[in-house]
Amino acid sequence: MIRVLFVCLGNICRSPMAEAVFRARVREAGLSDDFEIDSAGTASFHVGKPAHAGTRAILAKHGIGCDHRAREIVRDDLDRFDHVVAMDGQNRSDIEALGGGRAVISSFLEHAAGLGVRDVPDPYYTGNFAEVYALVDAAAIGLLARIRPAARGLK
């Protein structure tokens, strides 16, 4: 089982979108039984809330559901998950500041080659959920390609 946690600031816009898109790609690849997928935020302001309406709308447009409720990342997540994937550099430093853990921490857009952008822009401020979806979609495919052989090997 490969456990993957996507992390942003509020856990209502970017990381629930990444979680939902990655889960859809995993399902299409027939690998649902090999993965546990979740998301969390580095901040607690929105704990318990559903994803932002903009995130739910763009996912729905692409035929993907989202029933995630926001939660805050805890130190234990860095031991529970194999991969912790940050949406931007600030998220990544905040995750690393929790300290230790066995999870491999990465930045989401590292997994998509040639995008020319390092951070997933925050649609909470930009309002551009379509731009974020395109980046998330590219990186989800890249991340799955990178970690799926390991999932196969553990079967």
State the nearest-atom distance from the C-beta of 28 to ligand 4NP, in Å: 24
With a CB cutoff of 8 Å and minimum separation 6, the contacts of 138 are: 112, 115
Nearest-angstrom CA–CA distance, 65 and 20: 7
Among 14, 56, 68, 92, binds ligand 4NP (CB under 6 A): 14
Nearest-angstrom CA–CA distance, 110 and 107: 6
Residue closer to ligand 4NP (CB basis): 11 or 34: 11
54 lies in the binding site for ligand 4NP (CB under 6 A):
no
State the nearest-atom distance from the C-beta of 89 to ligand 4NP, in Å: 13
Among 6, 22, 35, 124, binds ligand 4NP (CB under 6 A): 124
DSSP of 54-97, one letter per residue? HHHHHHHHTT-----B--B--TTHHHH-SEEEESSHHHHHHHHT
Q: Catalytic positions, please? A: 8, 14, 122
Q: Which residues bind ligand 4NP (CB under 6 A)?
A: 8-14, 45-46, 122, 124
